[in-house]
Amino acid sequence: MSKSFVPLDSIDSVVSILSKIAIWGGMSAEQRSRVFKRLEVGSFKKGEYIFRKGDQPSHIYIVKSGEIDLFISDRDVVIEKETLRAGGCFGVASLMAMETHMGTAIAREDSEILVLSRQSVLALRHEDIHLFALLMMNIAREIARRLKLTDDILLNYALEHKGV
Protein backbone atom coordinates (compact mmCIF):
# COMPACT_ATOMS: atom_id res chain seq x y z
CA MET A 1 0.00 0.00 0.00
CA SER A 2 1.47 3.32 -1.00
CA LYS A 3 -0.13 6.53 0.16
CA SER A 4 1.00 9.77 -1.39
CA PHE A 5 2.02 12.56 0.91
CA VAL A 6 2.52 16.21 0.06
CA PRO A 7 4.88 18.76 1.59
CA LEU A 8 3.50 20.53 4.64
CA ASP A 9 2.44 24.07 3.68
CA SER A 10 3.21 25.77 6.96
CA ILE A 11 5.20 24.59 9.95
CA ASP A 12 3.51 27.32 12.02
CA SER A 13 0.18 25.48 11.72
CA VAL A 14 1.56 22.40 13.50
CA VAL A 15 4.22 23.70 15.90
CA SER A 16 1.84 23.42 18.86
CA ILE A 17 1.31 19.72 18.08
CA LEU A 18 4.95 18.97 17.27
CA SER A 19 6.37 20.73 20.33
CA LYS A 20 4.70 18.17 22.61
CA ILE A 21 6.32 15.14 20.97
CA ALA A 22 9.18 13.54 22.90
CA ILE A 23 11.32 12.65 19.86
CA TRP A 24 12.10 16.35 19.34
CA GLY A 25 13.24 16.82 22.96
CA GLY A 26 16.46 18.71 23.61
CA MET A 27 16.58 20.20 20.12
CA SER A 28 17.19 23.88 19.59
CA ALA A 29 14.60 25.86 17.63
CA GLU A 30 16.96 25.83 14.63
CA GLN A 31 17.39 22.04 14.83
CA ARG A 32 13.62 21.47 15.12
CA SER A 33 13.10 23.74 12.11
CA ARG A 34 15.57 21.67 10.07
CA VAL A 35 13.64 18.51 10.91
CA PHE A 36 10.15 20.00 10.58
CA LYS A 37 10.81 21.38 7.08
CA ARG A 38 11.07 17.74 5.95
CA LEU A 39 7.56 16.88 7.14
CA GLU A 40 4.82 15.91 4.73
CA VAL A 41 1.09 15.48 5.28
CA GLY A 42 -1.56 13.02 4.12
CA SER A 43 -5.30 12.57 4.64
CA PHE A 44 -7.01 9.33 5.57
CA LYS A 45 -10.74 8.60 5.57
CA LYS A 46 -12.48 6.78 8.42
CA GLY A 47 -11.63 3.08 8.16
CA GLU A 48 -8.67 3.61 5.84
CA TYR A 49 -5.44 1.77 6.64
CA ILE A 50 -2.34 3.85 7.26
CA PHE A 51 -0.33 0.62 7.25
CA ARG A 52 -0.95 -3.07 7.86
CA LYS A 53 0.98 -5.68 9.78
CA GLY A 54 3.72 -6.93 7.47
CA ASP A 55 4.05 -3.73 5.41
CA GLN A 56 7.53 -2.28 5.00
CA PRO A 57 8.02 0.78 7.22
CA SER A 58 8.67 4.01 5.36
CA HIS A 59 7.74 6.84 7.74
CA ILE A 60 7.41 8.08 11.27
CA TYR A 61 3.75 9.08 11.63
CA ILE A 62 2.27 11.90 13.75
CA VAL A 63 -1.45 12.51 14.12
CA LYS A 64 -2.26 16.08 13.06
CA SER A 65 -6.02 15.70 13.48
CA GLY A 66 -8.48 12.88 13.97
CA GLU A 67 -7.90 9.56 15.70
CA ILE A 68 -5.86 6.51 14.74
CA ASP A 69 -6.32 3.01 16.19
CA LEU A 70 -3.27 0.77 16.58
CA PHE A 71 -3.86 -2.99 16.65
CA ILE A 72 -1.62 -5.98 17.13
CA SER A 73 -2.74 -9.37 15.90
CA ASP A 74 -1.73 -12.93 15.30
CA ARG A 75 -3.90 -15.62 13.78
CA ASP A 76 -7.40 -14.98 15.13
CA VAL A 77 -6.38 -12.77 18.06
CA VAL A 78 -6.65 -8.99 17.63
CA ILE A 79 -5.81 -6.56 20.43
CA GLU A 80 -6.46 -2.84 20.26
CA LYS A 81 -3.20 -1.49 21.64
CA GLU A 82 -3.88 2.23 21.61
CA THR A 83 -5.94 5.06 20.12
CA LEU A 84 -3.86 8.08 19.18
CA ARG A 85 -5.04 11.67 18.87
CA ALA A 86 -3.35 14.92 17.78
CA GLY A 87 0.34 14.70 18.65
CA GLY A 88 0.37 10.90 18.85
CA CYS A 89 3.46 9.44 17.21
CA PHE A 90 3.65 5.91 15.76
CA GLY A 91 5.57 3.69 13.36
CA VAL A 92 8.85 4.59 15.06
CA ALA A 93 9.83 1.12 16.30
CA SER A 94 9.32 -0.57 12.94
CA LEU A 95 11.26 2.13 11.13
CA MET A 96 14.17 1.86 13.58
CA ALA A 97 14.18 -1.93 13.66
CA MET A 98 14.07 -2.08 9.86
CA GLU A 99 11.49 -4.83 10.26
CA THR A 100 8.03 -5.03 8.79
CA HIS A 101 5.26 -3.35 10.76
CA MET A 102 4.29 -5.44 13.79
CA GLY A 103 0.82 -3.94 13.95
CA THR A 104 -1.88 -2.25 11.93
CA ALA A 105 -2.90 1.42 11.99
CA ILE A 106 -6.42 2.42 10.92
CA ALA A 107 -8.09 5.83 10.84
CA ARG A 108 -10.86 5.73 13.46
CA GLU A 109 -12.24 8.91 11.89
CA ASP A 110 -11.22 11.20 9.03
CA SER A 111 -7.66 12.16 9.95
CA GLU A 112 -4.62 14.07 8.82
CA ILE A 113 -1.21 12.55 9.42
CA LEU A 114 2.19 14.24 9.38
CA VAL A 115 5.04 12.02 8.24
CA LEU A 116 8.81 12.07 8.34
CA SER A 117 10.19 9.68 5.74
CA ARG A 118 12.98 7.19 6.32
CA GLN A 119 14.95 8.99 3.58
CA SER A 120 14.65 12.29 5.46
CA VAL A 121 15.85 10.71 8.69
CA LEU A 122 18.81 9.09 6.95
CA ALA A 123 19.67 12.33 5.11
CA LEU A 124 20.11 14.02 8.49
CA ARG A 125 22.92 11.56 9.23
CA HIS A 126 24.94 13.05 6.39
CA GLU A 127 23.94 16.68 6.96
CA ASP A 128 24.21 16.99 10.74
CA ILE A 129 25.49 13.96 12.65
CA HIS A 130 24.85 15.63 16.04
CA LEU A 131 21.20 16.32 15.21
CA PHE A 132 20.85 12.79 13.85
CA ALA A 133 22.35 11.35 17.06
CA LEU A 134 20.00 13.42 19.23
CA LEU A 135 16.99 12.28 17.19
CA MET A 136 18.10 8.62 17.48
CA MET A 137 18.56 8.96 21.25
CA ASN A 138 15.09 10.50 21.59
CA ILE A 139 13.57 7.75 19.43
CA ALA A 140 15.28 5.10 21.58
CA ARG A 141 13.72 6.69 24.69
CA GLU A 142 10.30 6.68 23.04
CA ILE A 143 10.68 3.01 22.12
CA ALA A 144 11.64 2.25 25.75
CA ARG A 145 8.45 3.99 26.94
CA ARG A 146 6.42 1.91 24.50
CA LEU A 147 8.11 -1.23 25.76
CA LYS A 148 6.91 -0.33 29.25
CA LEU A 149 3.36 0.08 27.88
CA THR A 150 3.61 -3.38 26.35
CA ASP A 151 4.95 -4.81 29.63
CA ASP A 152 1.98 -3.27 31.45
CA ILE A 153 -0.44 -4.83 28.96
CA LEU A 154 1.20 -8.23 29.43
CA LEU A 155 1.18 -7.97 33.22
CA ASN A 156 -2.48 -6.91 33.29
CA TYR A 157 -3.39 -9.81 31.02
CA ALA A 158 -1.47 -12.26 33.21
CA LEU A 159 -3.16 -10.93 36.37
CA GLU A 160 -6.61 -11.15 34.80
CA HIS A 161 -6.04 -14.76 33.73
CA LYS A 162 -4.17 -15.99 36.78
CA GLY A 163 -5.68 -19.22 37.99
CA VAL A 164 -8.14 -19.46 35.09
What is the domain count for the chain? 1
Query: What is the spatial distance between Cα 105 and Cα 82, in angstroms, rounded to a whole number?
Result: 10
Contact, 60 vs 114, CB < 8 A? no
The model's pTM is 0.85
In a domain, 79, yes or no: yes
In a domain, 52, yes or no: yes
In a domain, 129, yes or no: yes
Task: Please report, for the domain that includes residue 124, its CATH number.
Answer: 2.60.120.10
Query: What is the spatial distance between Cα 136 and Cα 37, in angstroms, rounded to a whole number?
Result: 18
In a domain, 65, yes or no: yes
For 144, the domain range is 6-157
The tens digit of pLDDT for each residue in 15-48 reads: 888 888 888 888 998 998 899 999 999 999 999 9
pLDDT band with cut points at 50, 70 and 90 for residue 130: very high
